[in-house]
């Protein structure tokens, strides 16, 4: 997985999303608009002058001007909610170097009451989500197993330990590859991105539909993703020699969120959160189209399978709906 390309994509899409949210009449979000434009400008200059490292340059600007201030503003709100105004004031002064508008804190920082709820939720992040924790540990252990064999990017090693290969599945009957490939990854960055997505999206869905349903959704979506890639390869629509990764499972979770929220669309904030899911799908689709190394077919098959599973497995009645992008 090309980190330079990933950071380049992030340095372009993230500021555009910030601008889409912050571009309103008036000046409350002036600092965020300015920071987003600066990140885009630095990324553009990097692309013109140092194309081979443009992603790292833009990613560094994104990290310094957008990511760190967003985390800092949330931390400042946390200090204020705890009554530690001295620490909140010091952090606020530091943040105003990049974002001089005092009202910018409203852009990312939640109100004190919501923050207290969010703080309590973070403490129980895995308390009612054991399936997510198990899948994270299984993927981590599988990656350590890969490392023990040597170069985890070597196609021969990946073949030996269970990578998905349509030819081996169809001709040699090695159907177990449909499953084993879901726990293998093509590098640490590949693993890290998938586990982060599982950490963010998984627990609220598991608390909403239950651990057993979540595990079924995760595994069936992954198997449907693998089977879909094999079928599309056989009929000639895609050409895949070897594939690894839990991305089909992750997109299945996204699809399950869409199906779950669509079924409970009359619940509070369900339509707004469904819009968040559609944004995730749009961003992932744009990334797939711009990244030849990524299997868009695997992602779409997992997404579609997860969507129907979300419709089928969702409980008939729920007291509330967690946010797929917030826990």
Q: Tell me how far apart the alpha carbons of residues 292 and 154 are, in angstroms, rounded to a whole number.
A: 18
200 CB contacts (<8 Å, ≥6 apart)? 325, 327
Q: Are 321 and 272 in contact (CB under 8 A)?
A: no
CA distances from 137 to 134, 141, 142, 194, 196 (A): 5, 6, 8, 12, 12
Gap between the Cα atoms of 299 and 284, Å rounded: 9
Does residue 14 have an active-site annotation?
A: no
Rounded to whole angstroms, the Cα distance separating 43 from 32 reads 16
Question: Which residue, 50, 95, 67, is CA-closest to 11?
Answer: 67
Give the C-alpha separation, 208 to 221, whole Å: 18
Neighbours of 288 (CB within 10 A): 19
- Of the residues 99, 185, 264, 299, which is catalytic? 299
228: β partners:
none
Query: Can 226 be counted among the known catalytic residues?
Result: no
Buried residues in 259-285 as b, exposed as e (16+ CB within 10 A): bbbbbbeebeebeebbebbeebbeebe
Whole-number Å distance between alpha carbons of 310 and 327: 19
Question: Which member of 14, 168, 225, 247 is catalytic?
Answer: 247
Residues identified as active-site: 247, 299
């Amino acid at each position: 997985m090309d980190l330079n390309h990933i950071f380049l994509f992030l340095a372009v899409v993230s500021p555009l999303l910030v601008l889409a949210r912050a571009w309103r009449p008036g000046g409350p979000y002036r600092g965020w608009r300015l920071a987003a434009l600066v990140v885009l400008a630095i990324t553009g200059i990097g692309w013109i002058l140092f194309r081979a490292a443009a992603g790292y340059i833009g990613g560094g600007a994104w990290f310094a001007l957008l990511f760190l201030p967003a985390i800092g503003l949330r931390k400042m709100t946390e200090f204020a909610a705890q009554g530690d105004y001295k620490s909140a004031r010091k952090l606020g002064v530091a943040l105003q170097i990049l974002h001089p508008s005092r009202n910018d804190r409203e852009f990312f920082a939640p109100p004190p009451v919501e923050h207290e709820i969010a703080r309590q939720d973070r403490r129980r992040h895995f308390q009612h989500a054991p399936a997510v924790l198990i899948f994270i540990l299984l993927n981590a252990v599988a990656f350590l197993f890969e490392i023990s064999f040597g170069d985890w990017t070597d196609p021969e090693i990946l073949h030996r330990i269970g990578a998905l290969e349509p030819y081996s599945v169809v001709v040699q009957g090695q159907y177990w590859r449909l499953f084993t490939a879901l726990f293998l990854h093509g590098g640490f960055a590949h693993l890290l991105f998938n586990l982060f997505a599982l950490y963010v999206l998984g627990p609220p869905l598991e608390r909403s539909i239950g651990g057993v349903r979540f595990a079924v959704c995760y595994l069936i979506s992954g198997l449907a993703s693998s089977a879909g890639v094999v079928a599309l390869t056989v009929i000639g629509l895609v050409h895949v020699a070897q594939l690894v990764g839990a991305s089909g499972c992750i997109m299945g979770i996204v699809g399950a969120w869409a199906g779950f929220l669509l079924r409970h669309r009359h619940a509070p904030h369900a339509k707004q959160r469904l819009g968040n899911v559609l944004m995730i799908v749009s961003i992932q689709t744009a990334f797939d189209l711009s990244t030849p190394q990524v299997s868009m077919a695997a992602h779409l098959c997992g997404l579609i399978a997860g969507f129907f599973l979300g419709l089928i497995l969702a409980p008939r009645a729920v007291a509330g709906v967690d946010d797929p992008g917030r826990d």
